[in-house]
Amino acid sequence: MYNDNPTLNINKEIDESKQGQAFFKEGIKGDKKFYIESYGCQMNFSDSEIVASILADIGYQPTRNIEETNLIFINTCSIREKAEDNVRKRLRIFDKMKRKRPDLLVGVLGCMAERLKEKFLEEEKLVDMVVGPDAYRDIPKLVANAFDGEKGVNVFLSREETYADISPLRLDGNGISAFISIMRGCDNMCSFCVVPYTRGRERSRNCFTVIAEARDLFERGYKEVTLLGQNVDSYKWENPETKKVVSFAELLVMVANVSPELRVRFSTSHPKDITEEVMYAIRDHENICNYIHLPVQSGNSRILKLMNRTYDREWYMKKVDDIRRIIPDCAISSDIITGFCTETEEEHQDSLSIIKYANYSLSYMFFYSERPGTLAQRKYEDDIPLAVKKRRLAEVIEVQRAVSIAENEKDIGKVFKVLIEGNSKRSDDFYKGRNSQNKMTIFQKKGDFKPGDYVQVKITESTMATLKGEIVL
């Protein structure tokens, strides 16, 4: 879900054959083109689609061929030092290109733009625009100024901006699955996290625009939407006319009611905020997927307190129990950080044991990376040696690997409804798709099923990361 790796960026994941279908916004005039590359979380990828829409409105088409444009954007992530290092490497490559092509403009978007602000222009002399996550509406002006030779920075953080009225220009192009951003920012102050500083205060988007976007996608053939927010369970939108407040559980049901044929996913849930109403909404609606990303971060209560997660180990285990009781066939996944400030070996063991307790289908696992300006950086010493952080990470990965293998083995013999996403990477004779639990499933083509169709797949084999099976009619 988190992409720190430049070789995995959005532009490379796009299915070239779908380019025409999803890429070109109707009515764009002229042949001006821009190139955009995204790093980090799904929210960043979703933001790039808003930026693409704003650029399309001034006549720019997206291209994946960097050679045929003189306007490059890089949508950046600050979550870990490595994420920022990768962006800097990429900027150095753009730098070289700029020396050969002086008309080339480079714009830095997203979290690194917000964190470093004007410093970007000083540090990376060849960057022309620095635009924070709430300032994308200003891009047309910044682009025009940049073409006139004037560099620009807009990193204003807003309390209201949700881009509610902007219809994103879909860049991922599989034409089946799309992100819908339902809120922005984050008011939790997890001590390790830079996000509250780079994305500002939490605000929820008008629910009617969310539903309209889901309906529009469905009418255009999409079959799956993922509702995105840093903390979706605290979604709260007050209708200014009726004063009625819409909760996340209510929003989920409204989106699910667009059509039983439209699958609904969401990310990310915070253990302190997820409610039983959300769990009941999942249980009662076949098209709300049985999958919850519920990051634990650490399995130890003292570390959780230092992390300012506002729950402890027992609270988290109770949430897992609630999910298992209400939705027995729900997959749960997690994020885990190893080697947070002052973490002892015993406390690290608690992270290993909670993986087994929760039986995560998968986890995104990281060693702690101190981020400038965060609570942890100001209050605690980053005292765990890198080698220890990495060794603990390897142990966490190993336990998760064993749990994933065991979890997936349990699926052998079961039949799942799978949404076909396209050909499998290895062979055109096979399709790939996900089941409700978000597990990637590979199966041989049969009949005239095509991407976007639902099929029943009986699982015959499993690995750590995938299920294999056959279509049953």
> Does residue 295 interact with ligand 5AD by CB under 6 A?
yes
Closest to ligand SF4 by CB, 3 vs 437, is 3
User: Considering Cα of 181, then 200, then 363, then 425, what sign does the dihedral take?
Assistant: positive
User: Considering Cα of 363, then 425, then 419, then 49, what sign does the dihedral take?
Assistant: positive
CA-closest candidate to residue 143, choices 89, 42, 69, 199: 69
> Does residue 197 interact with ligand 5AD by CB under 6 A?
no
Task: Tell me which of 41, 176, 182, 288 binds ligand SF4, using CB under 6 A.
Answer: 41
Question: Rule CB under 6 A: which of 341-370 touch ligand SF4?
Answer: none
**Which does residue 433 touch among ligand SF4, ligand 5AD, none (CB within 5 to 8 A, set by kind)?**
none
> Does residue 155 interact with ligand SF4 by CB under 6 A?
no
**Which does residue 78 touch among ligand 5AD, ligand SF4, none (CB within 5 to 8 A, set by kind)?**
ligand SF4
**Cβ atoms < 10 Å from Cβ of 413:** 10
> Does residue 337 interact with ligand SF4 by CB under 6 A?
no
> Does residue 327 interact with ligand SF4 by CB under 6 A?
no
| Cα distance between residue 431 and residue 415, in whole Å | 16
Angle between helices 313-326 and 276-284 in degrees, nearest 10: 20
| Cα distance between residue 330 and residue 280, in whole Å | 12
| Cα distance between residue 375 and residue 366, in whole Å | 19
> Does residue 403 interact with ligand SF4 by CB under 6 A?
no
Task: Tell me which of 369, 404, 436, 441 binds ligand 5AD, using CB under 6 A.
Answer: 369
Q: Which amino acid is at 139?
A: I
CA atoms within 13 A on the CB side of 335: 20
Stretch touching ligand SF4 by CB under 6 A, among 28-36, 193-201, 292-300, 425-433? 193-201
Task: Tell me which of 195, 320, 336, 455 binds ligand SF4, using CB under 6 A.
Answer: 195
| Cα distance between residue 232 and residue 45, in whole Å | 17
CA torsion angle for 245, 247, 250, 251 (degrees, to 10)? 100
Pairing of strands 71-76, 105-110: parallel
Stretch touching ligand SF4 by CB under 6 A, among 16-24, 75-83, 274-282, 451-459? 75-83
- Cα 436 to chain centroid distance, Å, stands at 18
> Does residue 193 interact with ligand 5AD by CB under 6 A?
yes
CA-closest candidate to residue 251, choices 205, 287, 296, 220: 205
Contact 139, 131 (CB under 8 A): yes
> Does residue 2 interact with ligand 5AD by CB under 6 A?
yes
> Does residue 376 interact with ligand SF4 by CB under 6 A?
no
> Does residue 77 interact with ligand SF4 by CB under 6 A?
yes
**Which does residue 34 touch among ligand 5AD, ligand SF4, none (CB within 5 to 8 A, set by kind)?**
none
CB of 189 to ligand SF4, least distance (A): 14
Closest to ligand 5AD by CB, 222 vs 368, is 368
**Which does residue 369 touch among ligand 5AD, ligand SF4, none (CB within 5 to 8 A, set by kind)?**
ligand 5AD
**Which does residue 111 touch among ligand SF4, ligand 5AD, none (CB within 5 to 8 A, set by kind)?**
ligand SF4
Q: What is the DSSP string of 118-186?
A: THHHHHSTT--EEE-TT-GGGHHHHHHHHHTT--EEE----SS---TT------S--SSEEEEE-EE--
Task: Tell me which of 194, 246, 264, 455 binds ligand SF4, using CB under 6 A.
Answer: 194
User: Considering Cα of 118, then 122, then 128, then 133, what sign does the dihedral take?
Assistant: negative
Question: Rule CB under 6 A: which of 337-356 touch ligand 5AD?
Answer: 337
The conformation of residue 287, written as its DSSP 8-state character, comes to T
Task: Tell me which of 10, 14, 87, 111 binds ligand SF4, using CB under 6 A.
Answer: 111
CB of 39 to ligand SF4, least distance (A): 7
> Does residue 76 interact with ligand 5AD by CB under 6 A?
no
Q: Which residues bind ligand SF4 (CB under 6 A)?
A: 2, 40-41, 43-44, 77-79, 110-111, 194-195, 198-199
Q: Which residues bind ligand 5AD (CB under 6 A)?
A: 2, 79-80, 192-193, 295, 297, 335, 337, 366, 368-369, 371
